[in-house]
Amino acid sequence: MVALAAAGGAFVALLLALTAHVRVGRLRRGFAVLDSGDGPHSVLDALGAQQRETAALRSEVAAARNDVAATRAELADALRHVSVVRYDAFGEMGGRLSFTAALLDDAGDGLVITSIHGRSEARTYAKGVKAGRSEQSLSPEEEQSIELAMRGPSPRR
């Protein structure tokens, strides 16, 4: 009787083991459906590859952010703010041949170049600018040019 009960218990255990084996086989087939150029991969392999790819992309983004920050720092010293004011310096000449050009960086440092054209000669002057001001006296056209350069371009329509 004990042997018969043990045989029955073993048979039930065998059926449970076969059922579990079939279910595990179905799960494995379900997870091994990802095919790539290298052949089929499991979901775990695919997730591992995605994690590695994500980590590589994160490091590339961090490097790109560092490059952008360095480029912004370098551009702050570039003479990016430019304006030109043209005028007729002497009144008797037409055509507004005289001009003043302001070339400034983001801090308002740079220079102002003025070229005054007369009937028989032209003179050119350069004055240094620090924080939007100059140690030399500035003409109204030079002050206007600095103001326009620091303000930036007007919106286009």
Which whole-number Å values give the CA distances from 53 to 24, 41, 59, 148, in the listed order? 29, 16, 10, 49
Q: Quote the mean pLDDT of the chain.
A: 86
Task: State yes or no: pLDDT of 92 exceeds 80.
Answer: no
Query: Could you tell me if 86 and 69 lie in one domain?
Result: no
Residue ranges making up the domain that contains 64 = 35-75
Query: Could you tell me if 64 and 121 lie in one domain?
Result: no
Residue 145 lies in a domain: yes
Query: Could you tell me if 141 and 88 lie in one domain?
Result: yes
Q: Which of 14, 49, 75 is the last residue of a domain?
A: 75
Please choose, from the candidates 60, 61, 58, 38, the residue with its C-alpha nearest in 3D space to the C-alpha of residue 50: 58
Task: State yes or no: pLDDT of 18 exceeds 90.
Answer: yes
Spatial strand order of the sheet with 110-117 comes to 81-87, 98-104, 110-117, 122-129
Locate 119 and state its tokens. 């009937």
Residue 102's SS3 state is strand
Residue 56 lies in a domain: yes
Query: Could you tell me if 71 and 94 lie in one domain?
Result: no
Query: Could you tell me if 69 and 86 lie in one domain?
Result: no
Task: State yes or no: pLDDT of 153 exceeds 50.
Answer: yes
Residue 25's SS3 state is helix
Average pLDDT rounded to a whole number, residues 83-110: 87
Residue 157 lies in a domain: no
Confidence of residue 157 (pLDDT cuts 50, 70, 90): very low
Task: State yes or no: pLDDT of 37 exceeds 70.
Answer: no
Average pLDDT rounded to a whole number, residues 95-120: 90
Kindly report, residue by residue over 39-81, the tens digit of the pLDDT: 666 677 778 888 999 999 999 999 999 999 999 888 888 888 9
Task: State yes or no: pLDDT of 88 exceeds 50.
Answer: yes
Pairing type for strands 39-41 and 34-36 reads antiparallel
CA distance 151 to 157: 18
Cβ atoms of 81 and 150 within 8 Å: the answer is yes
Q: Which of 22-31, 51-60, 83-92 has the highest mean pLDDT?
A: 51-60
Query: Could you tell me if 57 and 102 lie in one domain?
Result: no
Q: Tokens 């979901």, residue? A: 43
Residue 90 lies in a domain: yes
Locate 139 and state its tokens. 């003409």
Query: Could you tell me if 90 and 61 lie in one domain?
Result: no
Query: Could you tell me if 102 and 68 lie in one domain?
Result: no
Q: What's the DSSP call for residue 116?
A: E
